[in-house]
Structure 1
Amino acid sequence: MKVVCVTGASGFIASWLVKLLLARGYTVHATVRSLDDPKKTEHLQALDEAKERLTLFEADLITEGSFDSAFEGCVCVFHTASPVVFTVDDPKAQLMDPAVKGTINVLKSAAKVPSLKRVVLTSSIAAVMFGVDVPQSSVVDETWFSNPLVCEQKEMWYFVSKTLAEDAAVKYSKENGLELVAINPGFVIGPILQPTLNLTSEKFMNFLKTGKELFPDGIYMLVDVRDVAAAHILAFENPEAKGRYLMVGNMVRSSVIMKILEKFYPAFGFSQRYEDNNCNEPLPYSISRARAESLGVEFTPLEVTIEDTVEILKEKKLLNL
């Protein structure tokens, strides 16, 4: 049984990653910011096989060396730990340092472990296609890179942090003999395992409640959290995997989401909303799924993802129907 480590294990994607790794027979080391916080630990300890093959470690992104003990004996690190916030008062302290310096601290700890050769990094589409011109009918793929200078001018701090963190990780890995694979998901939804709402789930829930658009153009680049977690594992298990992998299962206008909601949940009252908002114009660009599918990713149908998202929010008493 191979030993792997997941950083930031209490998060949305990471919790599913721990769950799937345990189900595949891995022994998992998982880092959290505080072992004394039940919101960070209890849902992980309740997973199947957790008692037998899950060990929790406390680690802090901005403290160099704090991941050393968690990585001991591991063959792979899945680095998911990074703040996901769009509004900040202090971009350096709240985003840049944890994302960029934190990633380097993780890689420094990884480089100390002889058995550890591969790191799978949770990056983002935020590092792919923002602060750049996207020509009409373009196909956005892994060769695209966000422009951090433009993003900074627009105070898009989360996008800056993800772009700089991925760039720093690539450079450090090349210089220190680590194999790095980056997973770049779009807007992640799906069933939550953790007890608290993550940012994307919260924003999607608010859309369900109000019908108010999350994005000015009403275009949603959605991906199921279970597909993102599975892609991380495939990126480790496939020795040929390298570079970055975009993870966008469906790029749709909000009217498509509303139609699905109306089909399964007419009590939401989305029928009038999607009729009023029914845009028939073609999407201005598309997101390539080719590399993700070459990795072995099988994307969950959008209807399944949306239904599972709503059902877990209902179960947790966050949505009333």
Structure 2
Amino acid sequence: MSNGPLVFITGATGHIGFAILVLLLKKGYRVRVSSRKLATAQKLNDLPSVKPYADQVSFVETPDAFADAAYDDAVKDVDYIVHVASPLPDDSQTDPDFDVEQTYIAPAIQGNLGLLKAAQRSPTVKRVVITSSVAILAKKEGRDTVGPDDLAPVPEVKDIPKHPLAAYAASKILANAAAEDFVKTHKKLHFDVVHILPGYVQGRNEPVTSSRQLVDRPSSNQTMIKFLLGHKDDTPRPNDVVLLDDVAAVHVAAMEGPDIKTGERFIAAYPLPVSWVDVERVVKRLFPRQVERGILPLGGECPDWALHFDPSKTTQRLGVEFHGIEDMVKSLVGQYVELVEKERRTGTQSTAA
């Protein structure tokens, strides 16, 4: 069993959280995983990337993150906290009058504040790393790129459009503001608070076990897969993309960094926006047989939308170099192809196309 420092992580059953969990385990950390349902989290032990490190993982159930002191026991004796869990935009949202505050805003804010309060009551915590988003940033007049300190205005909840992407972005802005207010109010914290701002994350999602899940499960992976399956989408999707592995690397580097100060933000995004048309060109070159066989029918439409985020501070301070679109396609599309081909061989499920 590893004697490494103990890290508490939320959201480890999700896309980004799982990648961070695996990287932490590989680096020798002990990890305590939080989940609303213990049985769901414990299934992670059966996955290939976690199984060799099962003795380094423990689990704690947090059924109600809104409860007072919900995380107090969970963070007892931990050295670091990595908070990833937060509501994701879900395009399958069918209720046009869904409650923006209850669905997105309140959980995001309470997640940040609940863990910061718990960390305040746990003397062993050295640093809290919060997964935010580039959605909290906005382009400033006269600038071609957007940096980690170019914060977007904080919206009024009543003015937030009832659209999943808009509600998600607002939840991240408001949650970031709440965390910053907490730090300003409690000036003598014994731990650092650092924010990671991922772009549109693309990459293999090991907990996903079917091609249909890659299409249907709310995730930034959906856009690339649906585009390559020929789906037509008139909603602009972010193409300031980033490889999942790089996002995990930024989180862990920010957790470990000796000279990181409270309030610092680090962008995790490839330095240049990537057109969805460019993605199709790469797929044709890397997966010609699967295109020919119709596994990847192509022909999709998706308007590009980018702000051109500048991750140079992340590379300079944390040493993380960002991989390009080829690596993202190999990772994500490679998994989709593997799943479809396995399903066709075994007859377990038809292609998600």
Please state which band the TM-score falls in when normalised by the shorter chain: 0.7 to 0.9
Distance in 1 separating the partners of 2:314 and 2:172: 20
Whether the 8 Å contact between 2:233 and 2:303 is mirrored in structure 1 is no
The equivalent residue for 2:192 is 179
Equivalent residue of 2:155, what SS? helix
Deviation of the 1:76 alpha carbon: 0.8
- Decide whether aligned partners of structure 1 residues 272 and 204 sit closer, same or farther in structure 2, where only a CA change above 3 A counts: closer
Selected match of 1:240 from 252, 259, 265:
259
Unaligned runs of 5+ in 1: none
> 2:6 is matched by which residue type in structure 1?
V
Aligned residues: 311
The equivalent residue for 2:222 is 202
Deviation of the 1:82 alpha carbon: 0.6
> 2:278 is matched by which residue type in structure 1?
V
Deviation of the 1:268 alpha carbon: 3.3
The equivalent residue for 2:149 is 143
Equivalent residue of 1:55, what SS? strand
The equivalent residue for 1:255 is 277
Distance in 2 separating the partners of 1:42 and 1:313: 21
Deviation of the 1:262 alpha carbon: 1.3
Structure 2 residue 69 is matched with structure 1 residue 65: yes
Deviation of the 1:188 alpha carbon: 0.5
Distance in 1 separating the partners of 2:148 and 2:232: 31
Deviation of the 1:278 alpha carbon: 12
Distance in 1 separating the partners of 2:129 and 2:324: 25
Superposed counterparts of 1:1-321, under 5 Å: 1-37=4-40, 40-46=41-47, 47-59=50-62, 60-86=64-90, 89-129=98-138, 135=141, 138-149=144-155, 152-155=159-162, 156-176=166-186, 177=189, 178-195=191-208, 197-213=217-233, 215-216=235-236, 220-242=239-261, 243-249=264-270, 250-266=272-288, 267-268=290-291, 273=299, 286-294=308-316, 295-317=318-340
Unaligned runs of 5+ in 2: 341-349
Q: How far does the alpha carbon of each residue in 1:42-91 deviate from its partner, in whole angstroms, 9 at most, with x for none? A: 13453144321100111132222221222111111000011112556111
Equivalent residue of 2:101, what SS? helix
**182-191 or 43-52: which moved more?**
43-52
> 2:148 is matched by which residue type in structure 1?
E
Deviation of the 1:126 alpha carbon: 1.0
Deviation of the 1:314 alpha carbon: 2.4
Q: Percent identity?
A: 25
> 1:207 is matched by which residue type in structure 2?
F
Distance in 1 separating the partners of 2:303 and 2:80: 46
Q: How far does the alpha carbon of each residue in 1:252-290 deviate from its partner, in whole angstroms, 9 at most, with x for none? A: 12221111111112343789959x9999xxx98532121
Whether the 8 Å contact between 2:227 and 2:302 is mirrored in structure 1 is no
**40-49 or 106-115: which moved more?**
40-49
**263-272 or 86-95: which moved more?**
263-272
Distance in 1 separating the partners of 2:326 and 2:234: 19
Distance in 2 separating the partners of 1:12 and 1:278: 24
- Decide whether aligned partners of structure 1 residues 80 and 278 sit closer, same or farther in structure 2, where only a CA change above 3 A counts: closer
Deviation of the 1:144 alpha carbon: 1.1
The equivalent residue for 2:346 is none
CA RMSD of aligned residues (A): 2.8
- Decide whether aligned partners of structure 1 residues 285 and 93 sit closer, same or farther in structure 2, where only a CA change above 3 A counts: closer
**197-206 or 291-300: which moved more?**
197-206
TM-score using structure 2 length: 0.79
Whether the 8 Å contact between 1:120 and 1:181 is mirrored in structure 2 is yes
Distance in 2 separating the partners of 1:277 and 1:122: 27
The equivalent residue for 2:347 is none
Whether the 8 Å contact between 2:243 and 2:327 is mirrored in structure 1 is no
Deviation of the 1:212 alpha carbon: 3.0
TM-score using structure 1 length: 0.87
Distance in 1 separating the partners of 2:177 and 2:88: 18
Distance in 1 separating the partners of 2:282 and 2:156: 36
